[in-house]
Chains A and B, each alone.
Chain A
Amino acid sequence: MLELSSKTNLLKEDDYRYSLQEVEEANLFRDLFDYDQVPKVSFNHRLVPMSMPEEIWITDTTFRDGQQSVNPYTPEQIENIFRLISKLGGPYGIIRQTEFFIYSKKDREAIERCRDLGFKFPEITTWIRASREDFRMVKDLGIRETGILVSCSDYHIFKKLKMTRAQAMEHYLATVKDAFEAGVMPRCHLEDITRADFYGFVVPFVNELMKLSQQAGIPLRIRACDTMGYGVAYPGAALPRSVPGIIYGLQHYSDVKSEHLEWHGHNDFYKAVSNASAAWLYGASGVNCSLLGIGERTGNVPLEAMVFEYASLRGSLDGMDPTAITEIAEYFSEEIGYKIPPMTPFVGRYFNVTRAGIHADGLLKDEEIYNIFNTEKLLNRPALVAVSKTSGLAGIAYWINQNYQLKGENQVGKRDALVAALKAWVDEQYEQGRTASLSTEELEAKIEELKNERS
Chain B
Amino acid sequence: MRDHKTVSIADQIFEQLEHEILTGKYARGELLTEMKLSAELGVSRTPIREAIRRLEQEHIVAETGRGIVVVGITKEDVLDMYDIRINLEGLAAERAAKNISEEQLVEMGEVLALQKFYIDKPDNDNSSKIKNLDSQFHTLLYISSKSPAIGNVLQQVHRKITKYRRASVRKHSRAVQSHEEHMAIYAALEAHDSDRARALATEHAKNAKKSIMGMEI
Contact = CB atoms under 8 A, between A and B. Distances in A.
Interface of A: 54-55, 90-93, 144-145, 183, 185, 217-219, 259, 285, 314-319
Contacts of B1: 183, 217-218
A129 B104 CA distance: 30
Given A55-B6, A55-B8, A144-B2, A314 B42 contact: no
Most-contacted residue by chain B among A91, A259, A314 (CB, 10 A):
A91
B75 interface: no
A315 B44 CA distance: 7
Interface string B1-39: 110101111001100000000000000000000000010
Nearest to A220: B4
Contacts of B47: 318
Contacts of A183: 1-2
A259 to B, nearest CB: 4
20 contacts: A54-B8, A55-B6, A90-B42, A91-B12, A92-B13, A93-B7, A93-B12, A145-B4, A183-B2, A185-B4, A218-B4, A259-B6, A285-B6, A314-B44, A316-B38, A316-B43, A318-B9, A318-B43, A319-B41, A319-B43
A295 B88 CA distance: 55
Interface string B67-101: 00000000000000000000000000000000000
Interface string B47-83: 1000000000000000000000000000000000000
A218 B2 CA distance: 9
B44 A318 contact: yes
B4 A92 contact: no
B2 A92 contact: no
A319 B42 contact: yes
A185 B44 CA distance: 31
Given A55-B9, A92-B9, A318-B9, A219 B4 contact: yes
Top 9 A-B residue pairs of the complex, sorted by shortest distance between their CB atoms:
A316-B44, A259-B6, A319-B42, A318-B43, A92-B9, A219-B4, A55-B8, A92-B12, A185-B4
A144 B44 CA distance: 29
Nearest to A55: B8
B8 A317 contact: no
Contacts of A219: 4
Contacts of B9: 55, 92, 318
Contacts of A55: 6, 8-9
Contacts of B42: 90, 316-319
Nearest to A143: B2
Most-contacted residue by chain A among B1, B6, B38, B41 (CB, 10 A):
B6
Interface in B118-139: none
A104 to B, nearest CB: 26
A218 B38 CA distance: 35
A144 B12 contact: no
Nearest to A185: B4
Most-contacted residue by chain B among A54, A218, A219 (CB, 10 A):
A54
Given A54-B8, A93-B12, 9 more contacts: A55-B8, A90-B42, A91-B12, A93-B7, A218-B4, A314-B44, A315-B44, A316-B38, A319-B42
A259 B47 CA distance: 17
B14 to A, nearest CB: 12
A314 B9 CA distance: 13
A157 B47 CA distance: 44
Contacts of A92: 9, 12-13, 43
A315 to B, nearest CB: 5
Nearest to B42: A319
Contacts of B2: 144, 183, 185
Contacts of B8: 54-55
B43 A144 contact: no
A371 B8 CA distance: 34
A144 B6 contact: no
Contacts of B6: 55, 259, 285
A183 B41 CA distance: 36
A366 B113 CA distance: 62
Nearest to B38: A316
B204 to A, nearest CB: 29
A259 B6 CA distance: 7
Contacts of B7: 93
A95 to B, nearest CB: 13
A183 B3 CA distance: 11
A316 B1 CA distance: 35
A384 to B, nearest CB: 27
A4 B13 CA distance: 31
A183 B43 CA distance: 34
Nearest to A318: B43
Contacts of B4: 144-145, 185, 218-219
B129 to A, nearest CB: 11
A346 B42 CA distance: 21
A218 B7 CA distance: 16
Contacts of B43: 92, 316, 318-319
A317 to B, nearest CB: 7
Contacts of A314: 44
A73 B204 CA distance: 51
Nearest to B7: A93
A222 to B, nearest CB: 14
